Amino acid sequence: MQEEHVDKTREQVRARLAAWWEANARDLPWRFGRTTPWGVLVSEVMSQQTQMSRVVPYWTDWMRTWPDAAALAKASTAEVITAWGRLGYPRRALRLQECARVVADQYGNALPDDHDTLLSLPGIGDYTASAVSSFAFGRRVAVIDTNIRRVLSRVLLGVESRGGSATRAERDLANDALPDDTAKSVIWNQSVMELGAVVCTAKKPMCEVCPVSTCCAFLAAGRPGLGERRTRPRQRFQGTDRQVRGIVLNALRRRHDGGLTAGLPRAEAESLWPDQGQLAACIASLDDDGLIEINKDGSLSLPR
Ligand code: SF4
């Protein structure tokens, strides 16, 4: 019965989503063939754990400064961390630069178009390799992220997707739902992901304006379990090590932006956060991650 429903609605859903995408896709600067595969990769790395709309100004500045892998490979770590700004999770920036060095040195500054080779690059996991294969190179590959899992599970199976990593059943569902036609598969990936980002959101799906509402099994079933389970647990930010690390990095970015070459004196660093034990641990972890340097006099700098 469930399989029958999947088969019957799949074609309708594809057609409606394709039309909806055509009319409603957000005009993001890395879409519609306006950037290079490298630019698509940068957008995907920046968009992990950060909303796409927030990413746009960072991506635009970044690509203006470092339009390709070779340019980024040559940048100083301090410049890279400063340009990453408040996108969060700054280790992503370092991994992206590592990736740029490999692409520049080993692949002639051209991002490889083969899925397995993409996967072998620093910082590129299964999702990113699939997204770049589909969105940048037009390959037929199922892209599986939280939004896509949620939409497919709701529309085709009538249930909420589970949190955590993708299950085998969710992967099979995504692969089965992918259109055979390569060009249509790219639109499918983009449109399902977009629907999950702007309409079929985790907590408040806007079924009243949804293009697939008449063939959605989840809506037909009365949206069972909506709001009962978070796809991602809410993370407290205030007072966390993440906040403290961000405060230290921002202080160093401001100095770098202001042209100050001397390190941040230790006494000034200690005034950034009241809990000195937590602050010291965060400074040590930033150093371990290669995001800052602790100078001989105890002052702090961004890596050169
Ligand atoms: S009808 Fe509602 S639950 Fe179904 S896909 Fe659209 S927004 Fe999501």
Please, what are the domains in the chain?
2-25+141-220 (1.10.1670.10), 37-135 (1.10.340.30), 241-301 (1.10.10.10)
Residue nearest to atom 2 of ligand 1 (CA): 207
Query: How many angstroms does the Cα of residue 88 sit away from the middle of ligand 1?
Result: 30
Give per-residue pLDDT as tens, 28-83. Answer: 999 999 999 999 999 999 998 888 889 999 999 999 999 999 999 999 999 999 99
Instruction: Give the span between the Cα atoms of 92 and 46, in whole angstroms.
Output: 8
H helix or E strand, kind and range, residue 51: none
pLDDT at residue 231 tops 90: no
Distance CA 42, CA 48 (A): 10
CA of 109 to the centre of ligand 1 (A): 42
Q: Is 4 a catalytic residue?
A: no
Give kind and range of the element (H or E) at residue 125: none
- Burial (0-12, 13-18, 19+ Cβ within 10 Å), 126: middle
Q: Please work out whether the CB of residue 210 comes within 6 Å of at least one atom of ligand 1.
A: yes
Per DSSP, helices labelled H in 87-167 are 91-106, 115-119, 126-135, 146-152
DSSP state of 285: H
Q: Which of 3, 4, 11, 44 is catalytic?
A: 44
Pocket test for ligand 1, best of 14, 20, 151, 208 (most atoms within 8 A of CB): 151
Residue 206 alpha carbon to ligand 1 centre in Å: 7
Task: Express each pLDDT in 165-200 by its tens digit.
Answer: 888 999 999 999 999 999 999 999 999 999 999 999
At 235 the pLDDT is: 65
Structure tokens at 40: 């698509």
